[in-house]
């Protein structure tokens, strides 16, 4: 027996919402029909899910998340992190390797894949480390990690400091046809700084993280990508200079792609209310000028995709204050409503534009088979209520993390039901 999703609306590829019914059988979409030909006047023995006029979107894809397991289960686990993802409408997520141990051996890759299989509710794609222990000294065994199931390499959490090490990594990854995904940060430029170098850091007498600490790696790596021919993907772009460098590289035909987080599109360091570590993340909130450059970057295609950089930490850790608390904010359960409310409903982006950057484009960038709704595709989909306004309430999060700067924001575009391979993995109470 299959399941019909009835009374839903789909985008038609041209930003028009059209009424469609979708039949799911054996984890696949087997039929997409006009409602009149559909199940309502048929007794075909299939189950029904009433979408109540809501949007049926492809399951969202998030290529940059921290699940914290193994090693930091007090912050998040694969069980809680994937449920949080599902509540945010995500059906596929790619988890960063800065766990303990880090993901630098086939054993750890298998541990994560096993846990995701038995305890997770969405698809989990593990990244493998570029260097052993993320120390930047020796490359990991790329072949062995690839065979164990990683889809790309990154040392996210830290930048690869040595240009030679990065070049060797790129050459090896290129040989294997795998992407290098880079957290861009030159440590010599950021010693001990908790926030952006700018108005906020000066006002509070804090050290600042300058734009160059990110952009210098972007520039270096673009040259190395050109030399090695690797697919180079830039993590969480936050500065005007990085956007400029990536735009030029794309014009030159260098294989570079990039991602941006909702918070870097919506907040600047001028919005930080005070010394509250729920506003502390890496890269930090930059100047309004950088925010505008990131928006321009995604709008003109320089930046390809949206990711959350979901980075849960415990309340105790975040209570240590701006200087001592760890970097990172949670992202799954606010990402889509934030961007829908602040870009689509304000008429800056079409719904199609936003959805593409959270579904089709990430699939395209990383060669994944999910992200579209069509007959024959996996039945990964998300129902989204585009009309009901609700406040962001961290107490409702399924993540263990409550660390968000968006508490109390009034948003529309809340996911109501998330389906992975035909199974409902989360639904609004
Ligand atoms: N993005 C963050 O602010 N934090 C990340 C690590 C990182 O990407 O720097 C984390 O693991 O907490
Ligand atoms: Zn990072």
Asked: is 3-56+377-427 a CATH 2.30.40.10 domain? The reply is yes
d(CA 392, CA 374): 32
Residue 98 annotated in ligand binding = yes
- pLDDT value at residue 42: 56
| pLDDT above 90 (res 13) | no
> Ligand 2 centre from 257 Cα, in Å?
15
pLDDT in tens, 133-171: 999 999 999 999 999 999 999 999 999 999 999 999 999
Which residue in 318, 306, 232, 309 sits closest to 275, CA to CA? 318
State percent of the chain over pLDDT 70.
98
ipTM surpasses 0.90: yes
- Residue 298: is it exposed, middle or buried by C-beta count within 10 angstroms (0-12/13-18/19+)? buried
pLDDT at 247: 99
Q: Does ligand 1 have an atom closer than 6 angstroms to the CB of 327? A: yes
Q: Catalytic positions, please? A: 309
CA 139, 67, 85, 263 torsion-angle sign: negative
C-alpha span between 209 and 284 (Å, rounded): 8
Q: To which residue do tokens 């409903």 refer? A: 345
- Collapsing DSSP to helix, strand or coil, 326 comes out as coil
In this predicted model, what pLDDT tens digit does every residue of 366-382 receive, in sequence order? 999 999 999 999 999 99
- Using one digit for the tens of pLDDT, what is the confidence trace for 106-141? 999 999 999 999 999 999 999 999 999 999 999 999
Nearest atom (ligand 1) to Cα of 96: 11
* Over residues 10-38, mean pLDDT: 91
Cβ(130)–Cβ(104) under 8 Å? no
R_g (Cα) of the chain, nearest Å: 21
Q: How far is the CA of 341 from the centre of ligand 1 (A)?
A: 25
Mean pLDDT computed over 182-211? 97
Bridge-based pairing of strands 305-306 and 256-260 is parallel
> Residue 237: what pLDDT?
99
The answer to whether the CB of 119 falls within 8 A of the CB of 89 is: no
Nearest atom in ligand 1 to the alpha carbon of residue 313 is 12
| Distance (Å) of CA 278 to CA 41, 90, 300 | 52, 23, 30
What pLDDT digit, counting tens, does each position of 276-308 carry?
A: 999 999 999 999 999 999 999 999 999 999 999
Cα dihedral sign, 197-214-129-111: positive
Is residue 109 within 8 A of residue 126, CB to CB? The reply is yes
Please tell us whether the domain made up of 59-366 is placed in CATH 3.20.20.140: yes
Q: Tell the residue nearest (CA) to atom 2 of ligand 1.
A: 328
For the chain, the domains span 3-56+377-427, 59-366
**What confidence tier does 38 reach under pLDDT thresholds 50, 70, 90?**
low
Half-sphere exposure (Cβ direction) of 94: Cα atoms closer than 13 Å: 24
Q: Output the CA torsion 197→199→204→206 (10° steps).
A: 10
Please tell me the pTM assigned to this model: 0.98
pLDDT at 335: 99
Confidence of residue 98 (pLDDT cuts 50, 70, 90): very high
pLDDT of residue 40: 58
- Tokens matching residue 305: 């995709």
pLDDT number for residue 177 = 98
Q: Which helix (H) or strand (E) holds 8?
A: strand 3-11
Pocket of ligand 1, candidates 156, 196, 213, 404: which has the most ligand atoms within 8 Å of its Cβ, to mutate? 156
Residue 37 clears pLDDT 80, i.e. is over it: no
Query: What pLDDT digit, counting tens, does each position of 316-328 carry?
Result: 999 999 999 999 9
In this model, does residue 73 exceed pLDDT 90?
yes
Predicted confidence at residue 238, as pLDDT, reads 99
- Residue 14's pLDDT is what? 87
Q: Work out the mean pLDDT of the chain and round it to a whole number.
A: 97
Q: Please say if the pLDDT value at position 41 is more than 80.
A: no
């Amino acid at each position: 027996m299959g399941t019909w999703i009835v009374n839903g609306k789909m985008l038609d590829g041209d930003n028009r919402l059209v009424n469609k019914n979708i039949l799911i059988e054996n984890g696949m979409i087997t039929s997409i029909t006009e409602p009149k030909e559909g199940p309502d006047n048929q007794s075909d023995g299939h189950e029904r899910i009433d979408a109540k006029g809501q949007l049926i979107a492809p399951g969202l894809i998030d290529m940059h998340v921290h699940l914290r397991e193994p090693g930091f289960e007090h912050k998040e686990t694969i069980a809680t992190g994937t449920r949080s993802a599902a509540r945010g409408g995500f059906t596929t997520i790619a988890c960063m390797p800065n766990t303990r141990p880090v993901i630098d051996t086939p054993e750890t890759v298998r541990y994560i894949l096993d846990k995701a299989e038995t305890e997770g509710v969405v698809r989990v794609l593990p990244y493998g480390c570029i260097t052993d222990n993320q120390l930047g000294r020796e490359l990991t065994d790329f072949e062995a990690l690839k065979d164990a199931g990683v889809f790309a390499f990154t040392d996210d959490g830290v930048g690869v400091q040595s240009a030679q090490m990065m070049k060797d990594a790129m050459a090896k990854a290129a040989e294997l046809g795998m992407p290098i995904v880079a957290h861009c940060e030159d440590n010599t430029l950021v010693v001990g700084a908790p926030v952006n170098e700018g108005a906020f850091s000066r006002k509070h007498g804090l050290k600042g993280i300058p734009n160059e600490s990110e952009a210098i790696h972007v520039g270096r790596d673009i040259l190395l990508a050109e030399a090695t021919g690797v697919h180079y993907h830039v993590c969480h772009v936050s500065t005007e200079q990085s956007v400029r460098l990536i735009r030029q590289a794309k014009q030159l035909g260098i294989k570079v792609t990039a991602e941006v987080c909702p918070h870097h599109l919506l907040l600047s360091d001028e919005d930080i209310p005070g010394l509250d570590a729920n506003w502390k993340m890496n890269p930090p909130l930059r100047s309004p000028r950088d925010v505008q450059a990131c928006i321009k970057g995604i709008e003109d295609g320089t930046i390809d995709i949206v990711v959350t950089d979901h980075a849960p930490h415990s309340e105790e850790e975040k209570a240590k204050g701006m200087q001592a608390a760890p970097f990172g904010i949670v992202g799954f359960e606010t990402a889509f409503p934030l961007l829908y409310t602040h870009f689509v409903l304000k008429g800056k982006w079409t719904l199609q534009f936003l959805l593409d950057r959270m579904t089709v484009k990430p699939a395209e960038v990383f060669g994944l088979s999910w992200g579209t709704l069509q007959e024959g595709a996996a039945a990964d989909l998300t129902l989204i209520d585009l009309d009901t306004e609700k406040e962001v309430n961290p107490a409702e999060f399924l993540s263990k993390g409550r660390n968000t700067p968006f508490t109390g924001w009034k948003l529309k575009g809340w996911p109501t039901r998330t389906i992975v391979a035909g199974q409902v993995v989360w639904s609004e109470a």
